[in-house]
């Protein structure tokens, strides 16, 4: 993703089912400005509670 925009353009991951695997994204050099998942069964409920906690507690994620 950075190669395509040479790091000059912020990219957002919006309206997605589930949640992105932050650590995997970082290993591949993917950087999103933010992500927003759907709610309910189409959103964060698609992943286990342990996985969800790991993602939201990542040092690469700010949330409220």
pLDDT in tens, 28-43: 888 788 888 888 777 7
**pLDDT category, 6, cuts 50, 70, 90?**
low
Beta bridge partners of 16: 37
**Alpha helices (runs of H) in the chain, residue ranges in sequence order:** 2-5, 22-27, 49-56
Percent of the chain at pLDDT > 70 equals 89
Q: Tell me: pLDDT of 1 over 50.
A: no
What's the whole-number mean pLDDT along residues 49-63?
Answer: 86
* 3-class DSSP assignment, residue 8: coil
For position 24, what pLDDT does the model report? 87
The structure tokens 């690469």 sit at 60
Q: What is the chain's length? A: 64
pTM of the model: 0.64
């Amino acid at each position: 993703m950075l190669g395509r925009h040479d790091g000059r353009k912020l990219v957002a991951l919006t309206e997605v089912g589930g949640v992105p695997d932050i650590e995997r994204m970082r290993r591949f050099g993917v950087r999103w400005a933010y992500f927003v998942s759907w709610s309910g069964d189409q959103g964060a409920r698609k992943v286990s509670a342990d996985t969800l906690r790991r993602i939201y507690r990542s040092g690469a994620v700010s949330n409220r």
